[in-house]
Chains A and B, each alone.
Chain A
Amino acid sequence: MSDRPVLPELPTLPTDAPPSEPARQLGHFRPRLLLHEDHDLCPGCGEPLAIRTLLEVIDEMGEAENTIGVVGIGCYTAFTSTMDVDLVQALHGRAPSVATGAKRMRPETIVFTLQGDGDMVNEGLQEVLHTAARGESVTCVMLNNGVFGETGGHMTATTVLGQRTKNSLEGRDAGYHGYPILIADLLAPLGGTAYAARGSVHDAPAVGRTKNMLRRALETQRRGDGFSFVEILTMCPTGWFVPTAEGPGYLNSVLGAVHATGELRNAERLVTTAELLQAAKDDAGRREEPLS
């Protein structure tokens, strides 16, 4: 059994004390392409945030009446009843092929898939790789929380080393469970891929950057440049067995430390996740240097 990496200490927030001030509603922020605000996902889930960002981009680009979504199987599937765009429900892992058939028959439309890490990287790895290699003019969006959230927190192909899940109770062990797949690094260098990026929704600036990535991906598709891919790291406190309020911190410090965010492919420019991690380290180092 190999050595298990030690997880970073997580900040603990008091959850039993009353809030300093009563909650108040700041306003309504429902995107136009969401039929109503109710959903059945857990408190602290990052998926609604990712989905609303995607819907906002589609609407802002003026493509609401020209879009077909193909949705995989995961918690996010619950949003098929409220996402107000034309949708096709695919089987687990099979969305990229369904999207391919739809796009070939309706080349004038914007076609996206919405999948999770279990859906895309476990069940459907072959599908997305070939779709990218063929250079299909579709945009695959993957919500990555490193667990099968819908079944209650089980290990996926993106679960990071040391991460505890219901079927890796002592943490993912490289010698026993193997290593996580950095899916964006597999897709980015393929000849058919024109755009690949990894974003996150752990805080507001990250959501803003992710929104830009989604826009660039859909613009790539609109130009007909090739396959585009956006991975979005999302919180799953239920599946990680951490308090709701600790979700964003856990996402950034545990998953984000492996699945680093940034653009991996933009036209001819190609960057690896390892390079993104190194750049983030250098950047942090520079910030810690005393000003001279």
Chain B
Amino acid sequence: MTRTLMEGSSAITEAAIAAGCRFFAGYPMTPFTELLESFARRLPESGGVCINAESELEAVGMAWGAAATGARAATGSTGQGLALMQESLSELTRAELPLVIFHMARGQSDYTQATRGGGHGDYHHVVLAPIDVHEAVEHTQLAFHLADRWRNPVHLYGDFLLAHTSEAVSIEAAEFEPLPEKDWAVDGTLGGSGRSRNVNPIGMTKGAKGIEPESFWKRLQAKHDQIAREEVRFEAEFTEDAELLVVAFGSLARFARYAVRELRRAGVRVGYWRPITLWPFPTEALAEVAEGVERVAVLEQNAGQMIDDVRLSVLGRSPVVPIGEISSDEAGFGIGPIFDLEDVRRRIQEVCT
């Protein structure tokens, strides 16, 4: 297996192409810019299309149209750009369109945006948060698969570190279970047949008089309930006999995992637990490990966002304490001083009983 040294942005692009991504549209914004650059360079070479959209509004609209034809399509931005896309992101979820969204955030301050969003109505996106470039390659391919499997948008939550860290990776098309045919996708062929398609967010059927959105939206709710049961992913280490459990996600979890391993070697009874899917949050899994610990410490680079999900999972089984904080570089791009092993170790040790 050949491994190539690649920056995260390039590796994600190659993984997307290996997964069959044929369409990408985006608008430059740090730290998403390099991803757009590499898609703009690589997609046309591989028979796809990458459009430099005039704004994030156009980018998500174009990806919507591409996805509606059945093509594997993606877009993305950083938190600010995704805020602009919210109306489309919620509406196209209701239109059951498979779309991959590369959420290259400025640090971890977009946890709530990624998992709750700011769109309208009842909707959920699957959110995968890779810890490193290797996992980003795996998750990119998984994201396209899950989007098609559930006909639902899937986020890949990355940050400046993921976009710019170079790692030796191997990119090969991953094997997944077979997917149903996209008979709902528009190809223009069914006009005049009486069975023409209508990709829409209210469950409208051709020929029907009036609309009945309630039953359609209830069916969507049932689908999201099923995703929440079936697509939970997490990683745990040293949780069996841990007195302190450290919970972290994404890039910062890589520092937490290393620090916990070190502390374990020094005899400290500390455990590590990471949600891989931020939505669905692995609530039951966390509740189980929280049962036996004296304290749950939440390390995140923001004012306290994931801690809400942690508290909703732990439900008073043990005290939940924040050990993260807002931590930014001067440019505001999200590589603050918290990304430091010494600092992370100190934060964990301070809450050790």
Contacts and interface: CB of A to CB of B under 8 A. Distances in A.
Interface of A: 32-33, 35-36, 38, 58-59, 63-68, 70, 80-91, 94, 96-106, 109-110, 126-127, 130
Contact of A109 (B188, B194, B200): B188
Contact of B198 (A33, A59, A87, A103): A87
24 contacts: A35-B206, A65-B188, A65-B189, A65-B193, A66-B188, A66-B189, A81-B204, A83-B196, A84-B193, A86-B186, A87-B198, A87-B200, A94-B61, A94-B64, A98-B62, A100-B58, A101-B23, A101-B62, A102-B66, A104-B62, A104-B65, A106-B69, A106-B187, A127-B57
A87 B196 contact: yes
Contact of A87 (B54, B59, B186, B189): B186
A87 B197 contact: yes
A106 B58 CA distance: 18
B198 A101 contact: no
Contact of A89 (B60, B62, B200): B200
B201 A101 contact: no
B269 interface: no
A101 B198 CA distance: 16
Contacts of B49: 104-105
B297 interface: no
B209 interface: yes
B208 interface: yes
A231 to B, nearest CB: 21
Contact of B58 (A81, A102, A104, A130): A130
A14 to B, nearest CB: 34
A232 B64 CA distance: 27
Interface in B187-244: 187-194, 196-202, 204-209, 211
Given A91-B88, A105-B66, A86 B200 contact: no
A86 B190 contact: yes
Looking at chain B, what size class is its interface with the partner chain?
35 or more
Contact of A105 (B69, B199, B201): B69
B344 interface: no
B35 interface: no
B55 interface: yes
B207 A88 contact: no
Contacts of A102: 65-66, 68-69, 186
Contacts of B196: 83-87
Given A35-B207, A101-B62, A85 B23 contact: no
Given A64-B191, A86-B197, A89-B199, A101 B186 contact: no
Contacts of B51: 100, 104
Interface in B4-55: 22-23, 25, 49, 51, 53-55
Among A82, A96, A101, A102, find the residue whose CB has the most chain B CB atoms closer than 10 A.
A101
Given A86-B197, A106-B69, A101 B63 contact: yes
B270 interface: no
A64 B190 CA distance: 8
A110 B188 contact: yes
Given A59-B192, A86-B188, A94-B57, A81 B66 contact: no
B68 A98 contact: yes
Nearest to A87: B198
A105 B191 CA distance: 18
B87 interface: yes
B204 A101 contact: no
A91 B87 contact: yes
B186 A88 contact: yes
Interface of B: 22-23, 25, 49, 51, 53-55, 57-71, 73, 87-88, 91, 95, 186-194, 196-202, 204-209, 211
Contacts of B57: 94, 97, 126-127
Given A33-B192, A105-B49, A86 B65 contact: no
B188 A101 contact: no
B64 to A, nearest CB: 5
Given A91-B88, A130-B58, A101 B191 contact: no
A159 B155 CA distance: 41
B61 A98 contact: yes
A82 B65 contact: no
Given A36-B207, A81-B206, A127-B57, A105 B188 contact: no
Contacts of B187: 68, 86, 106, 109
B62 to A, nearest CB: 4
Closest 4 CB pairs between A and B? A101-B65, A97-B61, A89-B200, A101-B66
A52 B187 CA distance: 22
A68 B207 contact: no
Given A38-B209, A67-B188, A97 B69 contact: no
Contacts of A85: 188, 190-192, 196
A91 B64 CA distance: 10
A87 B187 CA distance: 9
B62 A97 contact: yes
Given A91-B88, A100-B62, A105-B22, 7 more contacts: A66-B188, A84-B192, A91-B87, A97-B62, A100-B58, A105-B69, A127-B61
Contacts of A38: 209
A101 B67 contact: yes
